[in-house]
Structure 1
Amino acid sequence: MGGAIIYPEIIGTLADTVFLVVPAIKKEMARYAERRAMGEEVEYHLEWNLIINKALEICLITMDITWDDGNITVVGFPSKAWEQVAQFMLYRNLMLLPDRGLIGDDNQLISPLAAQEGFLLKGIDKGLKKLANKAANIPPDLNVRGMMSYLSDILNFNRKVIKYGHFLS
């Protein structure tokens, strides 16, 4: 992908994993699935970031994945998806899926092929805690304080939910 922002479908959850469908990375994911099938381990570094385009009045959360081959996948979440992203803090892992067909009709069952074609990203909750701190420390001169307050509020609410052991429906 080379760093182009792509948008996912937020689908559902299973145990300690949330799963996303991102059809735009189907070809890329096939390459990593092939490497894993050959017994190779695929390394990655995951980071959550904010992209603020003041001129367009757009704020995005991005999930930036830097793969061991130097390729970068950037998945963007517009503000209308932030509440769902904040719910990711309730889960440790994220299963990145290249095809909607890997999900059952009830959005709760993942096909056995998902484990082969998808990619499990671990520790997504930790990165979201750092994202909450980034949002809280955005300089006021960017004039996006309202958006950042909203983001901080929903991320911190889910941090409190986790701390006290209550889960959202």
Structure 2
Amino acid sequence: MQKQVVFPAFLGESEMAVVVVIPSIKEDMADIFDRFHSGEEVDYWFSWDLVLTDTGEYLVVLEVDWAQGDGLIVAFTTEMWEFLVLMVQKENLVIMADWNVLEEGAPTLVSEEEFKPYALLIRDVHTGLDKLYDQVKELVSVNDGIEELSNLQLLLEGTNNQNITLH
């Protein structure tokens, strides 16, 4: 199975999490949102990776999977990499499929009787960034002079003073 790669339409932060809005996933992830809304506990897992596109662009990707579903791959371009540091600081990532929560505000919507957010909370989102760091460090050592990789390595090293330990 080939998964669809999606790019955030918006990245921001709240007091407790980095917020990523991807409206295109609302329909694709309707099954998991329905499961959440019905009260079902859905186990999901995630991993971080660095990929090189056909056009020579490096993307940091977050792959999220769950049983009985297609999963999701969120791609972060070089312009979005600074949010990795915020993710380590906040420790949580919220992937939202609906602009309404941002536009109308969560407190307003929560007061409504049938509030059903189209959102996926990933706790401890920094888990696995050490493996991404190792991957980047190895690529930098064999591809000296690729500025994107060097910048990503420095960025990830900056997270070393935060909540994760890099080798």
Query: Is TM-score (shorter-chain normalized) higher than 0.5?
Result: yes
Is the 2:140–2:150 Cα contact (8 Å) retained in structure 1?
A: no
Is the 1:138–1:145 Cα contact (8 Å) retained in structure 2?
A: no
Residue 94 (structure 1) aligns with: 93
1:6 aligns with 2:6: yes
| Runs of 5+ consecutive residues of structure 2 not aligned to the other structure | none
Between the two proteins, the alignment pairs up a number of residues equal to 158
Secondary structure of 1:133's partner? Answer: helix
Residues of 2 paired with 1:149 and 1:91: CA distance?
24
Secondary structure of 1:63's partner? Answer: strand
User: Post-superposition, which runs of at least 4 consecutive aligned residues in structure 1 deviate over 6 A?
Assistant: none
CA shift in 2, pair 1:116/1:2, >3 Å: farther
Residue 153 (structure 2) aligns with: 152
Residue 28 (structure 2) aligns with: 28
One-letter amino acid matched to 2:26: K
Residues of 1 paired with 2:115 and 2:61: CA distance?
23
Is the 2:11–2:21 Cα contact (8 Å) retained in structure 1?
A: yes
Matches for 1:19-168 after TM superposition, within 5 Å:
19-53=19-53, 56-104=55-103, 109-110=105-106, 111-112=109-110, 116-138=117-139, 140-141=141-142, 145-160=146-161, 162=162
Is the 2:32–2:69 Cα contact (8 Å) retained in structure 1?
A: no
Residues of 1 paired with 2:46 and 2:116: CA distance?
19
State, as a whole percentage, how many aligned pairs show the same letter. 23
One-letter amino acid matched to 1:149: S
**Post-superposition offset of 1:8:** 0.5
Secondary structure of 1:87's partner? Answer: helix
One-letter amino acid matched to 2:47: E
**Post-superposition offset of 1:70:** 4.4
Residues of 1 paired with 2:22 and 2:152: CA distance?
23
Deviates most, 32-41 or 18-27: 32-41
CA shift in 2, pair 1:32/1:90, >3 Å: same
Question: Which whole-Å deviations, capped at 9, do the CAs of 1:48-99 have from their partners, x for residues lacking one?
Answer: 110013x622100001011211412111111121112332111211111001
Is the 1:29–1:118 Cα contact (8 Å) retained in structure 2?
A: no
Is the 2:37–2:116 Cα contact (8 Å) retained in structure 1?
A: no
Is the 1:64–1:75 Cα contact (8 Å) retained in structure 2?
A: yes
